Structure 1
Amino acid sequence: MKMSLINLIKRAAAVLMFAPAVAMAAGAALHLDKAPVSTDPAALQHGAKLFVNYCLNCHGASYVRYNQLQNIGLSEQAIKDNLLFTGEKTGDLMKIAMLPAEGKQWFGAAPPDLSVIARSRASGDGSGADWLYTYLRQFYRDPQRPTGWNNVIFANVGMPHAFWELQGEQRANITENADGTKTIALELVKPGKLSVEEYDKAVADLVSFLVWMGEPVAEKRKTIGTFVLIFLAGLFVLSYALKKNYWKDIH
């Protein structure tokens, strides 16, 4: 009985280990566009503005505080004037009032926290930034969906198209292939406030900000890493010179 239980646990562990790989193999391969991620402060500030105005109503960023945005060049006063609307303080976390249960009731699933979404979405098909950049540009009108929207790379998504006023409305032209798969080509049928190029740039800025939120100290870490490598290289040279001098009478 004891051995049977152990074998059962081992089999369950094996199934859980390989289940994601099986699921990925069974799904259709995704084509992800390369995200033009930027660390330019102006791009990050624009992305922060888009995030607060369009995303923060439903999605929180509960691991990030408003005053951390000073690291992308915003002053505390600029944060107060442009990014705080309901009495928050600059030291507060970027949370939302909506409860997860309410989000599940309204959208079918609770909107995820976006603090590390750019890192959690990374896969073999591309980086998390590539997935987000593609996803936010591939919404299309679908009257069959409760929200009236669908998405090419996230079929039957519960999220409505929050940026439709900026992008406009796209229509999906679906072609049935001989092998039983479908090809979806999007056509812009109602222009938005932004041109296609301007909208792509806006999405790139937003994705850049989401990438920054996932690791706000990334640039500092890279700088420190560079100096550490330079230090180690110098230390190696000095250590080698010391070794040569120490052993010169023996060799």
Structure 2
Amino acid sequence: MLNRHFSIYLVAYILPAAVGFFAVTAYTRLLTPAEYGVYVVGISLAGILGAIFFAWIKLSVSRYQAMSAEVDFRGTAMVAFALTVAVLCATTPLVFLFRNDLSVGLLLASMFVAIMANAVDVGQEFERAKLRPYRFAAISIVRSVSGVGFGLLGIWLGWGGLGLLAAFGLGSLAGIILNLLGDRTRIARFQRSQFVQLARYGLPLTLAGLSIAVYSACDRLIVAYLLGKDAAGIFGVAADLPRQFMVMIASSVAAATVPLVFRSLSDKNIETTRE
């Protein structure tokens, strides 16, 4: 099972990576470095916002839903996500107390990307946890292709870097819709005990997720702050291409392995899980 799942997940990451390679090639020829720099900065901010506000939900779902196929955490996860979105919308504008020169449009676009991207990622965690790699792959490919289509449309309309951010969010929205329409099973209701369980496990891990997000994004933000958005656009392309190829293989292994490990540890013994 592990080898079969790894092969499917590898396709689920390779095809979007190939689409992304085409997209970067097109974007960097259709946009100026400054316009692409706006996109790079916005994606970096969205990554940090996602790590602060939503990582705890994804990490908790990947564990507890994988451990028990009979229990449905979707209703509780939806309520947790909605509450987190409310907190995000209420607190993120406070950043203007520290940086009043930040573009309102850029911040709003980053918030939109953070919400949409993490919503589809939470849905993908359920697909992984329920051992449904084919649906995971379909959603991943649709998300990638639609995002590029929206991106090219945004550039054609003259929306620049903000248009690319909106396109990324709309591509994720397409993945969310496919996820909801493709799963016709009844969603269980919100349960307070499940919410406490998710929060108790996931919230402490937010610090780890935040450190990874800051590590991944701070270089782009530093370049943008010190050298300008033109330099951030050039730097972002140079940094993202090799990172995509490395993450593509590692993510495929993790996507196949993690839910099987949790399921094995829950149903069997430590020796079987370790093997």
Between structure 1 and structure 2, the one with the greater Rg is 1
TM-score, scaled to structure 2: 0.26
Larger RCO, structures 1/2 (Cα 8 Å, 6+ apart): 2
TM-score, scaled to structure 1: 0.27
* Structure with more of its chain in strand, by fraction: 1
